[in-house]
Chain A
Amino acid sequence: MKIKLNRRAMIAMGVAAPALLRTSWARAASELRVMAWQGYADDDWVKEFQEQTGITAQVVFIGTDDEIWAKIKGSEGKDFDVFAVNTAQLQRYIDGGLTTPHDLAKLPNQKNVLPRFQDLAQIKGIMRDGKVHAIPFCFDSIGLIYDKAKVSPAPDSFTILWDPKYKGKVLAYDNGEHNFSFTALTLGFPDPFNLSAEQMGQIKAKLSELKQNVLSFYTTPDEALQLYKSNDVALIWANYGQQQVKAMKDAGADIGYVNPKEGALAWLDTWAMTSGVQDKDAAEAWVNFLLQKKIGEQLSERTGFGNTVAETGSANPNDKLVWLEFVEDPTKRSDLWNEVKAQP
């Protein structure tokens, strides 16, 4: 996700700063300091939250994972109460003691989430030592986009990317890390984020085969769309998931989206409380508020991403999603990926 502060957010912050000064010495407890991605704390939600609970959420929007880390780690968790973070990134916050576990009794709405998110112990990375360090909120999968006119019936497996029938009609993503992970899933390796040297060798050979089928490797959604428009493209490994689907449909493409049966990689953003949380109840009220069905639907409608409460195009109920984790050695994967690309 790369969303920068927009004008609305800037204005909101400008208005919020004096308000913070005024109220902070009168009613300190009713302030909640939120750090979020754009789209995770929209103005109408903040307003409604205040009407319902009397708590004013002061939202700061961030643009990169590193920015979250700099702000949370920089103040040792004291500058914010609650923040949005993905499950892979979350680990270093838990390691550093920068989070406060959630009390599920304070989050009644978590009982109504989609089956996939019901058992938090099943979601790798958010629990540690029996405590829930973060609550899933927003996600998207990295599945396959296919052109309905050219691929029929709809594909159900990543192996279709290797099908000689689609030679020169496949767009893949130019990134060693993800390509090794998804090929590991395709080959049936149990842990795609921790590969042995032997597994990496097998994947490298498999990716060299994939290269023969690929028209081009893309890096941005725009680029993929442009390639699709001016070439005969049947299949796209969709690194940007629903964002890409929406852009292509807006451009008039007749496409479908599937999460193949081997399991699709997926990112998952969560809400975590900082170690410096001032009013734990207020923070949990905020998370509970956002777990409403109405909010989830609005989130998906506005951003295109999946939410944890209402079903969306990101995934069907039975789709297998594999939450992204840090990989064993990104440098190694990138080197091997270069070798794949350098082969004739």
Chain B
Amino acid sequence: MLFVGDRQAKGWRIAISVLAYGLPFLFIVAPLLSFLTYSFFWVEGGQMHYDLTWRNYSRFFTDAIFIPVLWQTCLLCLAVAVLAALLGYPVAFRLATLSGRRKYILLMLVLVPLLMSYIIKIYAIRSILGGNGFLNRFLVWANLIDQPLTLFVFNLNAVLLTLTVLLIPFAILPIFLSLERIPKNLIEASTDLGASNWQTFCRVILPLSLPGVVTAASFVFVLAIGDFLTPQMVGGPNGFTFGRIIYSQFGAAFNWPFGAALSVILALVMSVVIALGRRFERQT
């Protein structure tokens, strides 16, 4: 039916193009544009003013709290990205070396946590990390410590740990895919030429999988920096992050324009990270 006549086919093509361009525009570009527009409005005394201004952006640079919090958040998320990549690599490596059904069962197991609600996972981790949580009770029971540790109770360490645990699947997948793409004959050639397994890994596999590692790290970084819920739930009084500031602008403060401006700034930071990641990938 699709190709009954030229005119009809043309009509279909136009319809499909409209859908292909229209849907992303409607659901992605348009909301982002409205966000951008909002960031130039301003709020005073609970009243929104619709004339355009730079004041939200200048406030970000002049107010003493925002840049330090953003910087601290970036460092935190960088640590999460590095940790997730380091921990994810061995898992991905093992996955890639398995074959047949075992590979896909293990892959499914790695992905199962993604099917669970985010909130439930955070709640679970919280009851593991708490002062009387599972971890502390276990350590006390095992006589490894006398007093419950406060190292991972409602601070930045807890945020670091929780984000890493939650985001590891996102690190494993890209690394796994890049390992899968390495042609087997390269590895065989390396072995034929007398390289040890370790040498093959260092000289062949690792360099060829690095783009995947970079993708994984930038992926994890972007997901971590956009998260406000985890810091809110396990960060306690001192685990304050940029995402929490943005969140508060939409809830309690009722300052949508300023929240939008902070989000635009965060989006810029993310874009820079993604761009850096891509540049690195192309170089290798």
Contacts and interface: CB of A to CB of B under 8 A. Distances in A.
A344 B237 CA distance: 9
A339 B126 contact: no
Contact of B252 (A175, A212, A223): A175
Interface stretch (A104-112, A119-127, A258-266, A328-336): A328-336
Given A168-B150, A214-B236, A229-B130, 17 more contacts: A174-B232, A176-B252, A211-B237, A227-B126, A230-B127, A230-B131, A231-B132, A232-B132, A329-B45, A329-B46, A334-B248, A334-B253, A334-B255, A338-B65, A341-B240, A341-B244, A344-B238
Interface in B186-243: 232-233, 236-238, 240
A337 interface: yes
Contacts of A174: 232
B22 interface: no
Interface residues of B, number: 32
Contacts of A329: 45-46
Contacts of A223: 233
A334 B252 contact: yes
Interface in A298-344: 329-331, 334-335, 337-339, 341-342, 344
> How many residues of A sit at the interface, in one of the four size bands?
20 to 34
Contacts of B69: 342
Contacts of A331: 43-46, 253-255
Given A232-B132, A337-B252, A330 B65 contact: no
B237 A341 contact: yes
Q: Give the top 8 A-B pairs by smallest Cβ distance, nearest first.
A: A230-B130, A334-B253, A231-B131, A216-B236, A342-B65, A334-B252, A231-B130, A211-B237
B135 to A, nearest CB: 10
A217 interface: yes
Contacts of B133: 230-231
Contacts of A168: 131, 150, 153
A98 to B, nearest CB: 20
A216 B237 contact: yes
B240 A342 contact: yes
Nearest to B134: A230
A174 B123 CA distance: 18
Interface of B: 43-46, 65, 68-69, 123, 126-127, 130-133, 148, 150, 153-154, 232-233, 236-238, 240, 244-245, 248-249, 252-255
Contacts of B43: 331
A175 B130 CA distance: 23
A226 interface: yes
Interface in A205-221: 211-212, 214-217, 219
Interface of A: 168, 174-177, 211-212, 214-217, 219, 223, 226-227, 229-232, 329-331, 334-335, 337-339, 341-342, 344
Contact of B148 (A177, A226, A232): A232
B65, B232, B237, B249 — which one has the most chain A CB atoms within 10 A of its CB? B237
Given A231-B130, A231-B131, A341-B244, A226 B123 contact: yes
A174, A215, A216 — which one has the most chain B CB atoms within 10 A of its CB? A216
A327 B257 CA distance: 21
B253 A335 contact: yes
Given A329-B45, A331-B255, A334-B248, A232 B237 contact: no
B65 A230 contact: no
B126 A226 contact: yes
Nearest to B242: A342
A141 B240 CA distance: 29
A338 B130 contact: no
Given A227-B130, A230-B132, A330 B46 contact: yes
B252 A215 contact: no
25 contacts: A168-B131, A168-B150, A168-B153, A174-B232, A175-B252, A176-B252, A211-B237, A216-B154, A223-B233, A226-B123, A229-B127, A229-B130, A230-B127, A230-B131, A231-B133, A329-B45, A329-B46, A330-B46, A331-B46, A334-B249, A334-B255, A335-B255, A337-B252, A338-B245, A342-B65
B65 A215 contact: no
A65 B267 CA distance: 34
B65 A214 contact: no
A294 B253 CA distance: 41
Contact of B68 (A226, A330, A342): A342
Given A230-B126, A331-B46, A177 B131 contact: no
A174 B244 CA distance: 11
Nearest to B130: A230
Nearest to A174: B232
B246 to A, nearest CB: 10
A168 B153 CA distance: 10
Nearest to B253: A334
A339 B244 CA distance: 12
Given A230-B127, A342-B65, A214 B237 contact: yes
Contacts of B254: 330-331, 334
Contacts of B248: 334, 337-338
